[in-house]
Structure 1
């Protein structure tokens, strides 16, 4: 089995397969240090935690993860909180930085005897019409190579070789939401004991704690804004303005250690299997970060595929691999629907024309329903945590 990509999807898949005695190699184009330090999402759904626990992959998050179940909305009509862990299905999130999870998964994979090749970039996959697919690779020293396996799992994201190698006829559903965020990682203690969502005429702002001294922030910006366009002083001033620090208390400032620009886009590919090639995680469907679904979907899909492959490779039962797309796509589309709803809840059109005023009034009405309706709060909680 060849797995492309050493993110959560590839390492969860590799761990489950190796634990069941299936020979597996993970090919990762980046070096190990980069893989273990790249900052990504940090909110794990309850179902994700259960999957990791079931396969002995939860030791680190049990020791260092923090249960979280509250979000706060700050709007032009005031602020309100939802203790979502007491609503819906009654599930919280576990806050655990993705780079720490990846470090744990990699260590466990190697302990179990799994093989991984860092600095090895998959260039193309030939798998659609073959029982012995081939993966063309480029090594760190520039040399070309070839890997053969029974199956290939494309866990290498939206720009990876798996997507580039898809046959004609693959359907890609795509939506550009027309919203851009400046993603920030600050060496600053959290300023809220909740996830913070702020709507403002200047645009959206978000606050997400990562650790006791690291906080993730988001600021909506114009499309095309470079990551380094704004000074740190301007960033903090804008965060305080949008999060209404004057009314609700100042933010705890610190050095901004990482910046990235995120254009909010979504896509879903169908089908997720092409012969011996399977798409997993961001390769299967890109989801906006508005509702913290990406890593959770990746772990779910990896688990579904792992058990399907185990049945096929150890017992000759191909039902799971044959129905992989049909099992995963309903989860993906449900997560996409909630993410789309969140984008509409948190972002409104700028301008004072009639259409902009109409859509912003609808957005404020949705926030009012979320503040006042228990049934709406239960729906939110179930979809916010679940995948």
Structure 2
């Protein structure tokens, strides 16, 4: 196992410097290293903190195939659980979609993202990959040149510099890669006007399906993570503190919105974590700026309404690895020119479906005529999803696909 902590301002180098050790960065690192491309991952957290980031846990069929194709799926194949059913609970009753038998007949694999990250990290280190924990990238300089430099600092606050041929920004929407974009970069942004209280509960799942509940009090969601832990979402007003409600009040609200009186009480337990999420989306165009390339949340942020974030990250990492290998190993300069266009086609399709889900699950605010019109449209969408096989096939294809 090889890790590296910088102890001075001496400049180090790699053909590709990868910023961030999330699903995008670690998938990219594994694929480049497997092709003999000299690369290093810079990660500001230590290894323990990296493995404790509880995020989404629904992997699309294409994501699983990608990881299998590159020998990165051992953990999820041992411990992941196939899932293919979702249930909608509305004021008009409830209905279930066996989406695994609809559309392309593909399933999700439930596997916590922190476990996937741990698997990818272990595989990368065991193969001799380089990573510098506790190293925070601050800026990418000379990205329009042929030898960009990443300015960073280590866990002790000491400066560090890494020179590269290419820098892969996989460090999120607030990372150094985005901060280093030129003024010509386009940022398309959308605030969906909805906030969720995200909850991780030490409680067994209460449904054998993903649960989406629409209620006059707001949306509620149920997503199993493990046999002992369940993720819930509660719609809340913008600006609501994460600790605004006691555990008992949280469970009472979940019972109300999930219609426990009609369908049975939820299985309660200790709430392990709370996070308020303001649903928003953004996309950067293009994804290549000279020697700086973006992937994962640095390329596009997508709302959690359709579980697309980690799946897009893995897809983009594979496309970026293919392009970098083409350029660095085979001298195919056109590979990188195609990268942005190929990724953005997938990103915008995922964004469209995520936006559609948001409109499906959340009542229009207000009581005026326009709000009533939009609310009637939402109810019509739900009714069509309940009754139309063509609509159900479309939903299944886009729900599992990226």
Structure-1-length-normalised TM-score: 0.99
CA contact (8 A) 1:201 1:350 kept: no
SS of residue in 2 equivalent to 1:149? strand
Please name the residue that 1:26 is paired with: 41
Q: Structure 1 residue 376 and structure 2 residue 391: aligned?
A: yes
Please say if 1:269 is aligned against 2:270.
no
1:213 aligns with 2:243: no
Q: CA deviation at 1:47?
A: 0.3
Structure 1 match to 2:360:
345
Paired residue total: 387
CA–CA distance in structure 1, aligned partners of residues 140 and 266 of structure 2 = 48
Q: How is 1:286-365 mapped onto 2 (pairs within 5 angstroms)? A: 286-365=301-380
Partner of 2:147: 132
Mapped to 1, the partners of 2:201 and 2:351 lie a distance apart of 28
Q: Is the 8 A contact 1:133 1:151 kept in 2?
A: yes
Aligned to 2:203: 188
1:301-324 CA-partner distances (Å, limit 9, x unpaired): 000000111111111011211111
The answer for unaligned runs of 5 or more in structure 2 is 1-15
The answer to whether residue 56 in structure 2 is matched with residue 47 in structure 1 is no
Q: Which runs of 5+ in 1 are unaligned?
A: none
Supply the distance in 1 between the matched residues of 2:87 and 2:153 (Cα, whole angstroms).
47
User: Alignment partner of 1:193: what SS?
Assistant: coil
- Counterpart of 1:173 in structure 2 is 188
Quote the Cα distance in structure 2 between the aligned partners of 1:189 and 1:146: 47
- Counterpart for residue 258 of structure 2: 243
Matched, 1:12 2:27: yes
Identify if the C-alpha distance between structure 1 residues 249 and 127 changes in structure 2 by more than 3 Å, giving closer, same or farther: farther
Q: 1:174-222 deviations in whole A, cap 9, x for unaligned?
A: 0000000000000000000000000001100000000000000000000
Q: Secondary structure at the match of 2:165?
A: coil
C-alpha deviation, 1:266, in angstroms: 0.6
2: CA distance, partners of 1:310 / 1:49? 22
Give the Cα separation in 1 of the matches to 2:143 and 2:157.
27
Segments of 4+ moved more than 3 angstroms: none
Residue 385 of structure 1 is matched in structure 2 by 400
Contact 1:28 1:118 in 2 (8 A): yes
Alpha carbons 1:181, 1:262 under 8 Å: kept: yes
Tell me the distance in 1 between the aligned counterparts of 2:142 and 2:259. Answer: 53
Contact 1:127 1:274 in 2 (8 A): no
- Which residue in 1 is equivalent to 2:13? none
Matching residue within 265, 271, 279 for 1:256? 271
Conserved 8 A contact 1:36-1:102: yes
8 Å contact 1:28–1:119 — kept in the other structure? Answer: yes
